[in-house]
Each structure stands twice: as C-alpha cells, then as structure tokens.
Amino acid sequence: MISVKHETRYRYETPAAYTIQSLKLTPQNTSGQHVLSWSLDCGQDATIPSFVDSFGNLTHTFVINREHSDVLIRVTGKVETTDVSGIIAGPHDPFPLVAYLRETELTQPNEALEDLAWSVAEGGKPLDLAHALMAAVRDRIDYQEGETQVETTAAQALAQGSGVCQDHAHAFICCARVRGIPARYVSGYLQASDNMDEVYEAGHAWAEAYIEDLGWVGFDVANRICPSESHLRVAVGLDYREAAPIRGLRLGGGAEKLDVTVRVVQENIQQ
C-alpha cells in the first residue's frame, strides 16, 4: 500500500487579491490501484467545486477571492497498488485510439524527434518497439533537474539533451505517435527505491502506450521501467497541459516562493 502526503505552499511577497487553481490531484481506481482513502484540503470550509474532464480526471477548481499572502494545498491518501506489469485497464476512455495519435504543442515532432523515433529498427513486436523507444529517448535525454520548465517542449528537451521525467514522457509520447503507436501522458506519484520515508521534491510523470493485444501499457521513461506497485497513477492527458496536477494564476502578489513536499511511502497493512 502506498501512502501519500503532498503539500504545495505558495507564499506571496505582497498580498494577492485573487488566486485560482485547477487541480488534478485525485487518483481513480484502475486494474493496478485501489483508492482506500483520499483527501484534498485547501484550508477552506466550503466544498471545492469539481468535475470530471474528458479524460476521466477529477478536476477541482480552487479559488481564493480575497486578500491573501499564502496558499496551501494538501493532499493525503492511501492507495492499494499491485504490480500489473504496467498494463492498465479502466477507468472509462471516451476516445478512439486514433485520438492518441494527435500532435500537441508540447509533443510536436521535429526532424530530430522523427530521426530519434525512426532510429529504432522496424519489424519487431509493438511492445518491443515501445521498449526500444523508451531506451532510445532515455539515452538521449539526461536526467537533470532545473534545466527545463513545465512548458518545455519535447523538441527543446531533446535539443538540449537534458530534462526531467516530464520531458522524458513528452519525447517518448512524440516518438511513439510518430511510429503510429497511440500514446498519452500520466502524472502521478512514485515511491522510489526500497528506502522507506524517502522525501521527494515533486511528483512523477510517465507515459502510456497502446499495445495491441495488451491494451494501455505504462512506460516510466525516466527510470527505464514499466510502472509497478510503486507507481500511483493520478491524471492522464495527451500531454502535460491536460494532465497537470496544478495549473494556476493569481492577481497581484509580487514575487512568489514555492515549497513542494511529497512524501510517498510504502506501508505494510496491519493484519
């Protein structure tokens, strides 16, 4: 079982008049995970309005419409996960597969990405092709924090040869689509390695590709693995923009200080 405690705190230099955030921070049940408890707390008594978006992500719209100097978003929950070798079934998917071949702004292919996609030999099984693409992308984009931003495109990340899990996912998605494999973006949490109580700076992101006869299969490109019981899948979309855990804006407030702490730990269920 994975236990998550994820806190995001913004502190503003001068008071802001208004803050709005669109939050995709609530996981759904899938073949590999069962949500036992989950709560989203933004320090307000009123219920935060929500809806389910086209990809099935529960989306909250959180607003502070008075003077304020800080914002706190706290997510806590426990989820039972099982290793399904990355093969995901459910929740509902309204899109025919061809929709997952769309180009998006962040996954727009360029010549370098096409070359990378076609650098992997033809002829193998689709699953092997996807694994080979994962390796090829990871080889070309070094893991480096702070070199890329949330709006960095796959092409930019590949050009500079460095990025974070989001960039790996974008480049992989782009290459997969170039090769005719439907692919999508996943944001979530990862309980890393065997060390208990490890603290991370942020959540995690990976990709899913549709493999004939298997269905949707996850590819954690940054870690060169398929998601296991250490992965908690939260939101999905064609790219980061649609699956982003938090997209927000504010009026006023001057400079901003952002603190994010994510604690994802493995817990043994007490019998």
Partner 1 sequence: MVLAKAFDEMTLAGGACRDAYKGLSQWLQWTPTDFLRMKRQEADVLFRRLGITFAVYGEGGDPERLIPFDIIPRVLSAPEWQRMEDGLRQRVKALNMFLNDVYHDQEILKAGIIPEKLVLNNSSYLPEMQGVDVPGNVYSHIAGIDMVRVGEDDFYVLEDNCRTPSGVSYMLENREVMMRLFPALFAEHRIAPVDSYGDALLDTLKECAPPKTTGDPTVVVLTPGIYNSAYFEHSFLADQMGVELVEGPDLFVDDGKVFMRTTQGPQKVDVIYRRIDDTFLDPLTFDPNSVLGVPGIMNAYRSGQVTLANAVGAGIADDKAIYTYVPDMIKFYLGEEPILKNVPTYKCGEADDLAYVLDNLAELVVKEVHGSGGYGMLVGPAASKQEREDYAERLKAAPDEFIAQPTLALSTCPTFVESGVAPRHVDFRPFVLSGKDIRMVKGGLTRVALRDGSLVVNSSQGGGTKDTWVLEE
d(CA 135, CA 139): 6
Q: Binding residue for partner 1 (CB under 8 A) from 1, 7, 11, 22?
A: 22
Is 91 a binder of partner 1 (CB under 8 A)? no
Judged by CB under 8 A, does residue 249 bind partner 1? Answer: yes
CA distance 189 to 209: 19
**Minimum distance of partner 1 from residue 92's CB (angstroms):** 9
Q: Does 258 bind partner 1 (CB under 8 A)?
A: no
Q: Which is nearer to partner 1, 157 or 222 (CB)?
A: 157
| CB of 88 vs partner 1, minimal distance in Å | 19
3-state SS, residue 162: strand
Please give the Cα distance from 110 to 239 (Å, whole number): 16
Number of shown-chain residues binding partner 1 (CB under 8 A)? 30
Binding positions for partner 1, 160-219, rule CB under 8 A = none
- Residue 149 sits in the site that holds partner 1 (CB under 8 A): no
Provide the token pair at 175: 């290459």
Cα distances from 102 to residues 6, 146, 150, 158, in angstroms, run 32, 28, 20, 20
247 near partner 1, rule: CB under 8 A: yes
59 vs 76, beta carbon nearer partner 1: 59
Name the one range near partner 1 by CB under 8 A: 137-145, 194-202, 226-234, 246-254.
246-254
Task: Based on the shown chain and the rule CB under 8 A, indicate whether residue 65 belongs to the binding site for partner 1.
Answer: yes
Q: Is the peptide bond before 126 cis (omega within 30 degrees of 0)?
A: no
Query: Among 88-96, 163-171, 190-198, 199-207, which window interacts with partner 1 (CB under 8 A)?
Result: 88-96
DSSP state of 47: P
Nearest CA-CA partner of 203 in 15, 26, 21, 16: 26
Contact between 151 and partner 1 by CB under 8 A: the answer reads yes
Q: Which of 3, 28, 59, 162 binds partner 1 (CB under 8 A)?
A: 59
Q: Is 241 in the site for partner 1 (CB under 8 A)?
A: yes
Q: What is the widest separation between alpha-carbon atoms in the chain?
A: 61
For partner 1, which residue of 43, 72, 90, 95 counts as binding (CB under 8 A)?
A: 95
> Strand pairing partners for 48?
none
How many other CB atoms are there within 10 angstroms of residue 131's CB atom? Answer: 19
The answer to whether residue 141 forms part of the interface with partner 1 (CB under 8 A) is: no
98 binds partner 1 (CB under 8 A): yes
Binding mask 37-56 for partner 1 (x = CB under 8 A): ---------x--xxx-xxx-
173 touches 133 (CB < 8 A): no
Beta strands in the chain (DSSP E): 2-26, 33-41, 50-52, 58-64, 68-81, 87-88, 142-143, 162-163, 183-190, 199-200, 204-211, 215-219, 231-237, 246-252, 256-266
Task: Give contact residues for partner 1 (rule: CB under 8 A).
Answer: 18, 20-22, 46, 49-51, 53-55, 59, 61, 63, 65, 94-96, 98-99, 101-103, 151, 238, 241-242, 247-249
